[in-house]
Structure formats: C-alpha cells, structure tokens
Homo-oligomer: A and B are copies of this chain.
Amino acid sequence: MNSAPSIQKLLDELGRLPGIGPKSAQRIAYWLLNADRETALRLAQAIVEVKETVRFCSRCFNYAEGDLCEICASPKRDAGIICVVSEPRDIPPIERTGSFSGTYHVLGGALSPMEGIGPDDLHITELLQRLASEDVREVLLATNPNVEGETTAAYLARLIKPLGISVTRLASGLPVGGDLEFADEVTLGRAIEARRVL
C-alpha cells in the first residue's frame, strides 16, 4: 500500500474496533493525522486513562473508578430495587430513560449451554449475597430479550422468588432478538414502566 509503517499500524489498530471497516479506519486515521497534536493525543490519553483507572465495582460489578461505581456510591439511588443486567454496557441505555432510580447488578454475561457459560461463570452468588445482606424488595431482570437472556432471567426468577422478593422482568415491546445496548429511550422506558411480575 506504500503508506508509512506508523500509518499502517494505526489503520490496523483502528480496524480492530467494532463497527469500523477499512474505509472508516482510513477516514479516522487521516482525520487524526490532520488534527492538531493535542486533539489526537487527548484521545490516546483517554484510552490510557480508562484502562488505568477503571475496574469493577465491588458491589455490583459495573465499571467503577473507586471501590464503588458512581451509582452504588450515590445516596440518591433506591437500594431497595436491583436491576440485573448482563454487561456494564447495558446500564447507560437504562439510565438514559430516566425511568429507573434503583441500583444495578452486572452478571458479566448470560447463561449459555452452547458456549459453556453456567451459573458459576456469572456473578450470581454475589447477587444472592446482596439479597441476603441488603434490604431489597424487588429484583428487575433486565437481561437481553434473546434466548440466553430469557434463560438467565428464568433461572434467576426461580432462585429469587422463594426469598419472598418481588421479581420483575422488562416488558416485551423490545424487538425480540434485538440488543438492549441499542434500544431507543422511549421503547426501553416503556418496557421498564410496564415490567411484569414473574
């Protein structure tokens, strides 16, 4: 391709990012080359900083900078209701709806016999410990509306209901087979408001 090795390296690294094909990578690389030094280095620095400072919340396994994530650390959040999600990336879309003011619990995946992911691979023990030690009245299961997410929700409902805690599930209305990460605020907000008792 006769381009400088450092440009080729940047193209390779950009091409690894999700949703970035060769043309997008090239567009971004030339934008960075053309950008002033500070702008480009701010992005590099932001990547370094995020990898150096971000770890998992010791309580809910969301991404956090300190011991607790911003949500667990906030006194404004209702600790009586826990929203269970598969991944940290599922939290921002729920936050954007403004329909939920409780806390979260991140499982770190979903049950999938196909991929060999069982209950012990998820933060389920830690969820049960929270239910035992915290004063929780409701668990809202917000795993994805696909096979793995539904399986996980059914499994958790079976575990939690005997504890006398109300177990709810996001209402359907989300396109089945879709991805929670990309749901629009209105649809997702409706789904939270119309959550069903399992």
Contact = CB atoms under 8 A, between A and B. Distances in A.
A19 B30 contact: no
B54 A44 contact: no
Given A18-B27, A39-B16, A41-B47, A1 B32 contact: no
Interface string A1-19: 1111111011011101111
Interface stretch (A63-71, A110-118, A119-127): A63-71
Contacts of A9: 46, 49-50
Contacts of A69: 4
Interface residues of A, number: 59
B89 A30 contact: yes
A131 interface: no
Interface in A17-53: 17-20, 23-24, 26-33, 37, 39-51, 53
A4 B26 CA distance: 30
A47 B46 contact: no
Given A4-B70, A10-B46, A17-B32, 15 more contacts: A4-B65, A7-B50, A9-B46, A10-B50, A14-B43, A19-B28, A23-B182, A26-B181, A30-B87, A30-B88, A33-B50, A33-B88, A37-B51, A41-B48, A44-B48
Interface of A: 1-7, 9-10, 12-14, 16-20, 23-24, 26-33, 37, 39-51, 53-54, 63-65, 69-71, 74, 87-89, 91-92, 95-96, 181-182
